[in-house]
Each structure stands twice: as C-alpha cells, then as structure tokens.
Amino acid sequence: MSRNRTERPRHGPFLQSSMREILIVDDDDDLRETMANVLSANGFRVQTASNGRDALAQLQAGAPDLLITDVMMPNMDGWELREAMRSHVELSNLPVIVISALEPRGALLEALRPAVAMRKPFALERLLQHVRALVGPAKPGGLRRFGAGK
C-alpha cells in the first residue's frame, strides 16, 4: 500500500505537525534566508541547509513535504543530492523545486526530474504559488497572501 505525503511518519528535523514542511537548500545565504522568511511568514515550517550533503542528512532523518534546492553548491551539488535521494525509497518521490542560475531545460531537467524548475532570479510570489500548488496550504485552512504578516 503506497503512502502519500501527508501520511509519511516524521522524525528528526521534520516532526509530526499539521504544518507543511519544506527543506530549502542553497549556498547563497541571503537567498536561502529570504525564501525561508517568506515561506515561514506564510505558515510553512522551514528547515535550511547550505549544501547537498547537509540536506541529505536532514532528509534521511525525516522527510519534509517538499524540497527546494539549488543546483550548483559546494560539497554535494543538486545533481548529486537528487541521485542520492533516488537510492532511498522514502525520498525518491519527494516533490522537488529546482532553482538555478542555469536555464532549467534539456539535460538539467532530465537529470533532476523536478516537479518545478525555476531560473534565478525569480519572483518570490511565483515560488510561493508553486509551493502551494505542490503541497497545498501551509496548514489546514491556512491560505495566506504573499508577504502577509503573522
């Protein structure tokens, strides 16, 4: 019997919660923090990592509802992270938004197989729309407008 995202057991950094949980992976501190702030302000529970190696450790400890990852990063890049995720059954079908300075097409899309690919720079409102389309509202009954305060 297959399990959907909302039934997946949580442990480690992603604990059982009614909030949708997102892991953001990017070596650009400012962009990572900005995305985290916007998603948090819109009701999502957010964890971050600055490279694929740290992200994989967090993912192995417990899977979020969504992964947002850069491609070009130190230690373990987005390609290596996605390849490592495919070897773990519980991570192989995790929805992924890929953000990259590279044009997201052709070989990049084929190798990463993201649910969504976005080229940097991108509008944060567009990212939020994609997140909501993939995982739904931050929490039941919790649709909030972009940039809305708590």
pLDDT tens-place string over residues 24-48: 999 999 999 999 999 999 999 999 9
pLDDT at 141: 45
Helices 124-135 and 29-41, packing angle to 10 deg? 60
Is residue 124's pLDDT more than 70?
Answer: yes
Torsion of CA 57, 62, 67, 71, to 10 degrees: 10
**From the candidate CATH numbers 3.10.20.30, 3.40.50.2300, 3.40.50.300, 3.40.50.450, the one assigned to the domain spanning 16-133:** 3.40.50.2300
pLDDT in tens, 73-92: 999 988 899 989 989 888 98
pTM over 0.85, yes/no = no
User: How far, in Å, CA of 72 to CA of 106, rounded?
Assistant: 17
